[in-house]
Structure 1
Amino acid sequence: MSVDIQQSGQTRTEAAAESRPASLRRSRLSGFFGFSSLTRRIVVLNLAGLVALLSGILYLNQFRAGLIEARIQSLTIQGEIMAGAIAASATSTSEQDSLWVDPDKLMNIAPSEMLDPDGAIESLDFPINPERVAPMLRRLITPTRTRARIYDAGGQLLLDSQSLYGPGDILRLDIPTPQAVRSKPLLDRMVDMVQSWLFRNDLPTYEDLTGGEYPEVKQALSGAPTAVVRANKQSEMIVSVAVPIQRFRTVQGALMLSTLGGDIDDIVQAERLAIVRVFLVAALVMVVLSILLAGTIAGPVRRLANAADRVRLRVDRRAELPDFSDRNDEIGHLSTSFREMTDALYNRMEAIERFAADVAHELKNPLTSLRSAVETLPLAKTDDSKKRLLSVIEHDVRRLDRLISDISDASRLDAELQRQDLDTVDIGRMLTTITSAQNDVHSEEASIILDIAESARAPNRLRLKGHDLRLGQVFTNLIDNARSFTPPKGQVRVSIRRDRDNILVTVEDDGPGIRPDAIERIFERFYTDRPTEGFGQNSGLGLSISKQIVEAHGGQIWAENRLSSQPGADGKRYPIGARFTVRLPAAK
């Protein structure tokens, strides 16, 4: 027998373990291997928002466009200054320092023409002398990280700052080779790849041209400064600005200044790397704060879930849920609701257990009496004894039938009240119908008087939300109970009045009243106090069911004695009847 008990206990344990929901097992696994699912979601969502913000900042960043515009302005001003200096140093190809011109003939020629000594018209030209311009260009361009090229009026390249030969030195700036680019660190190459994907542009490709084939140079030779932005093969921006070299409003050539590959990109990349560093710090702070935030949510929720599983699996006799009511947030409200729900569940279970025990006790009494009568019946020798035993058996059978009917009604009551929808019930109309029917059916017994207060006669003053059949059962039980204690030709008085937001119904009788020690017990199940009636004539469930129905509607019911207006010989006021009062919340 003990082996069977142990095996059955193990079977229940295994069944309980298998019945644990998958969500509980997953939560314990996640708690064992790392963060909970809720923590991961909070962290990921917060980081996703931060990444979206970073992407928007990098993509919509105006620093790059502003830097290009500033570099164009800087190169334009620098080019105009250098072009003026170059024009001032330019001389004629002749060795003379002066030029003679006949004023009379000069008035008859075009602005760009002159009269030579033989009378032939030649172009009035001041060509740029590379020998004189090269040293000055080298001095001007050396402090800057730019490349300068000078073109003559025909577009031919005269000087290039990358190949300036001075006395004993050569200045040469080489563009980085593809091998140098590939030798960048892995992180830099990844950043370049992301930038090339995020910041795609349609810039023209930069190429080294020998002649003045650059569009900006052609524009400068026509007298208009021009700037062009290009990208080399390494996707590095190069800004080129070409300005005309003029003397006496005559274009002698063009000066083109261009940035070195990577100058602007390095500055932009440094600025973006600074933003990325700030993002990394913010992401770290965001992760820590997200974990702390999730801990204040996931931890209490996990504890509440584990406690709810203990309640479901009946691990403890009365499992206590964690109390987070001191938190003024949703977790605190959830904890309070869970605790109240659990208390209501335990109270319901305990009420069911008490109800089952009371039912077993009440059924055992008539069954015991019935068994004794059945066992004694064969032993009875006289007809009177047999008739008496048969009457006892009939009485016990009727009592069992009445008990089973009332128990069935009481057991269905709670589920029925929870399942059915509430309707609008007019208490005044209901009691009018009940009292009229009671007076018609029981005309020979005590009469029922209905009194509705004047303040409650207005429309909708006696309406409430509830179950009309069950409320009718309450008032029918109270009236029947009062009539059973009232002597013939007596009165049962039913009064209705409105008390603010409540409806009060009072049922009074002219009976002997209620014993003081029974006032609190008359609403208990199976309790009855009818000394004048035989044993077993009443199940004792009527008032208990009435109280259950009233409380399910959010109301109250209580009993008290009606006392005489005049004291007796001993100076005490004695009961002259019982009074039952029902308070129900009125409809708003």
Structure 2
Amino acid sequence: MVTGVETPDRIEVEDTTATETVVERDRGLAWWIHRLAPASLTSRIVLLNIAGLIVLVLGILYFNQFRQGLIDARVQSLMPQANIIAAAVAGSATVDTGSIVIDPDALMDSGDDSAADAEQLRDLDFPINPENAGPILRRLLASTSIRARIIDPDGNLVVDSRYLYGRGEITQRELPPFDAKPDSIWMRWWKRLNDWLFTNDYPHQKDYGVDNGKEFPEILAALNGASVSIVRVNDQNEIIVSVAVPIQRYRGVLGALVLSTSGGEIDNVLLAERKIVLFTFGFVALVTILLSVFLAGTIAEPIRRLAAAAERVRRGVNKRVEIPDFTQRRDEIGHLSGALRDMTTALYNRIEAIEAFAADVSHELKNPLTSLRSAVETLPFAKTEDQRNRLVEVVKDDVRRLDRLITDIAGASRLDAELARSEVQPINVAEVLDTLVSFANETRKDNQAAIALEVQPAPAAIARERAFVILGHDTRLGQVVRNLIDNARSFAPETSTIRVRVRRLQYYIEFRVEDEGPGIPPENLERIFERFYTDRPEGSFGKNSGLGLSISRQIVEAHKGRIWAENRYGKAPSGGERPILGARFIVRIPAIPQDWVANDA
């Protein structure tokens, strides 16, 4: 079954049995170019370079002025020859009065009294005598391939140099070799291509007949006293250059002289010139192809290797694929290689972090679940009400611990995505700390330490309103501060004070959270930032998930900053070790660039 659907710009014919749609409409040029374009980058580079070279060569062959220059040069060489020959032929003209032959030049040079009647010679008719003109043409054109014709004023052909033969001369004509082989197919194709590309768009040359001279415009112009040139082609489409000059004596035109080149004289020069151009094109094309292949090898081959490595990364399951290293190249390929290597490293690190996170989550969830299972299984065996109540409290604690763990795990798993999606904004760290410290003091319980904020003045070289401004996420930065304060409160004595200090350094903004607790064992200063690690005092087990400091480090590093922990030491007694006064957590985040002070405070 075939159904047709007609739309304003196309007609779709749908074959429902084959579930195929055929779009019948005219394809645009861009569509065909896209369809016919080679797929590989190497082929495209070679094709584009050769296409540009072809356009250049065709432009040279088609638009060059070499042909016209040859024609002009031939006209300039023929015109003086024609004038010389016409003067010689005019000098040989005499008049026959029936009783005496008059030579006007001899009469003018005699110097006697009859010279006074020389003006009467202008009215006499001096016809061109073929017997006098023929030898002149033969002598002047003996070593050339030029053909000369003399036309009388009535348009009749008087002399044709092709048919002038002296007494005793032998006529020679070149014939093709007896065993001449026909042109090869390549030569025939070359001639056809040459005729098609370089057609001579000149008028056709008709034969000069015995009495049709006045049918040719150049002869009419010469008989009227003008010297003209004309370009025509013969039956073989070969260029013939002709010049026509008047044969005149004493202002009287005795006839016209036409000099013509032989067919093929100019075409052979043009053909040789085109062969040189095409030979040069072939050589340059070969060099271009080699250079294009070399260029494509430096571009396409690295891209192919990078694409193959990326494909192996996509298909890989447990194997870590190494991306080819082209970073030593100072071009886009090197930049692409470095970017792919960094991206792949980050991807593998993320995968490993996810795997480790999943393992840690399963381990941490297992502990409360095991405790919960033990309490539930023991509950039927409880004999007293007190035992049952204690088991119920254990179950409640384990449920709360599970809820806290799941909540913190969900927050930690969403953290990277939220930091990547949300846009950074200018944040005043001093204002954020002031708000959070005030809120912590207002909600402080009786058994919790107080919080004190200390803001050190910014250096004079930095604008006051921009002294503590960073680019970041205010909610997540506030989460870091709350985690550090809650962590300090869990260790600080009830009557102590937790101090929060913020200051401006040259390129960073730093804030510290200091408590008066027992401090941190030196071997655990880095370990406390690991996921699910916790080292709480007695009575606080299960009340923390161990993710607070790990999340804080993740947020700070997303802001291009650093967070670390250290102990506060007091003055050492004589001969003893310095006592630990408490723990200190330090956070440094890059400030918004501006005029910096000379050194850190």
Q: Compute the TM-score of the two structures, normalised by the length of structure 1.
A: 0.86
Match of 1:366 in 2: 368
Contact 1:164–1:171 (CA under 8 A) maintained in structure 2: no
Call closer, same or farther: CA 1:329–1:316 in 2, change over 3 Å. farther
CA distance in 2, matches of 1:443, 1:381: 38
Q: 1:573 aligns with which of 554, 574, 578?
A: 578
Is 1:241 the counterpart of 2:243? The answer is yes
Q: 1:329 aligns with which of 328, 331, 335?
A: 331
Match of 1:10 in 2: none
Give 1:265-280 correspondences, 5 Å limit.
Answer: 265-280=267-282
Q: What amino acid is the match of 2:249?
A: R
CA distance in 2, matches of 1:199, 1:453: 88
Match of 2:90 in 1: 87
SS in 1 for 2:423: coil
CA distance in 2, matches of 1:74, 1:560: 103
SS in 1 for 2:493: coil
Q: CA deviation at 1:296?
A: 1.5
What 5-or-longer segments of structure 2 have no aligned partner?
A: 1-37, 177-181, 594-601
CA distance in 1, matches of 2:233, 2:39: 49
SS in 1 for 2:465: coil
Give 1:210-221 correspondences, 5 Å limit.
Answer: 210=209, 211-213=212-214, 214-221=216-223
CA distance in 2, matches of 1:174, 1:436: 118
Give 1:542-581 correspondences, 5 Å limit.
Answer: 542-564=548-570, 566-581=571-586
Task: Report how many aligned residue pairs link the two structures.
Answer: 538
Contact 1:494–1:505 (CA under 8 A) maintained in structure 2: yes
Match of 1:297 in 2: 299
Q: What amino acid is the match of 1:450?
A: L
Call closer, same or farther: CA 1:326–1:286 in 2, change over 3 Å. same
Q: CA deviation at 1:451?
A: 2.0
Q: CA deviation at 1:522?
A: 0.6
Is 1:583 the counterpart of 2:588? The answer is yes
Match of 1:535 in 2: 541
Match of 2:428 in 1: 426
Is 1:132 the counterpart of 2:110? The answer is no
SS in 2 for 1:342: helix
SS in 2 for 1:324: coil
Q: What amino acid is the match of 1:409?
A: G
CA distance in 1, matches of 2:93, 2:376: 145
Match of 2:8 in 1: none
CA distance in 1, matches of 2:456, 2:450: 20
- Measured against aligned partners, the alpha-carbon deviations of 1:203-231 in whole angstroms (never above 9, x if no partner) come to 22211132323222222222221101112
Match of 1:3 in 2: none
Q: What amino acid is the match of 2:203?
A: P
Contact 1:93–1:127 (CA under 8 A) maintained in structure 2: no
Match of 2:167 in 1: 167
- Measured against aligned partners, the alpha-carbon deviations of 1:64-100 in whole angstroms (never above 9, x if no partner) come to 1111110000111221222222223333345535467
Q: CA deviation at 1:310?
A: 1.1
Q: What amino acid is the match of 1:207?
A: K
> Runs in 1 of length 4+ with deviation above 6 angstroms?
100-109, 172-176
Is 1:222 the counterpart of 2:224? The answer is yes
Is 1:393 the counterpart of 2:399? The answer is no
Call closer, same or farther: CA 1:188–1:73 in 2, change over 3 Å. farther
Match of 2:11 in 1: none
What 5-or-longer segments of structure 1 have no aligned partner?
A: 1-34, 115-121, 177-182
Call closer, same or farther: CA 1:467–1:391 in 2, change over 3 Å. same
Match of 1:343 in 2: 345
Q: CA deviation at 1:503?
A: 1.4
Q: What amino acid is the match of 1:212?
A: G
Percent identical pairs in the alignment equals: 54
Call closer, same or farther: CA 1:452–1:298 in 2, change over 3 Å. same
Match of 1:207 in 2: 206
Q: CA deviation at 1:384?
A: 2.4
Q: 2:464 aligns with which of 458, 464, 476?
A: 458
Q: Compute the TM-score of the two structures, normalised by the length of structure 2.
A: 0.84
CA distance in 1, matches of 2:468, 2:195: 78
Q: What amino acid is the match of 1:300?
A: P
Q: What amino acid is the match of 1:579?
A: R
Q: 2:81 aligns with which of 64, 71, 78?
A: 78
Q: 2:58 aligns with which of 55, 60, 70?
A: 55
